[in-house]
Amino acid sequence: MKRVIIANDHGALEVKSQIVKHLEERGYTIEDCGVNTTDSMDYPDKAEEACRRFIEEGDYEFGVLLCTTGIGISISANKCRGIRCALPQNAWAASMTRKHNNSNFIAFGGSPHITYPEPVTEILDAYIDAEFEGGRHQRRVDKIMKIEEV
């Protein structure tokens, strides 16, 4: 079964609903670590919870993180050992982060102030449908991961 973990704070409820519906339509089972109210929630806590579960359980295809801008939650996720979270600005970048960086999380902003040139679901599809190319990109991913030792 294809599993995805998702987490959000209070600033990304609408985009979360769109993404969950879309992923379910694509046949994914969703593990939701996020919130479903507008009550204030600290995005670093949600990022850490999702990333810990992703690493410890190990049977998720990828994770999706959402906050008002996508910035804070992606920064938080990238502090977790083993996580490579991308915040793509369009479908091409989403595809490339999977092909070249083997990103295991993707982040989006949920505020009306954050706009994308394509629907978020199309950006997510570009990410899902891309495959890691390996080769010289594996060498670069290894270098990225080695930075965690600093």
Using an 8 Å Cβ cutoff, are 95 and 130 in contact? yes
Query: CB–CB of 121/22 below 8 Å?
Result: yes
Whether 68 and 9 have beta carbons less than 8 Å apart is answered as: yes
Instruction: Clarify whether 67 is annotated catalytic.
Output: yes
Options 33, 51, 67, 85, the catalytic residue? 67
Write b or e for each residue in 86-98: b if 16 or more Cβ atoms lie within 10 A of its Cβ, otherwise e: bbbeebeebbbbb
Q: Which of 10, 51, 85, 100 is catalytic?
A: 100
CA angle in degrees (0–180, nearest 5) for 118-72-147? 105
The catalytic residue positions are 67, 100
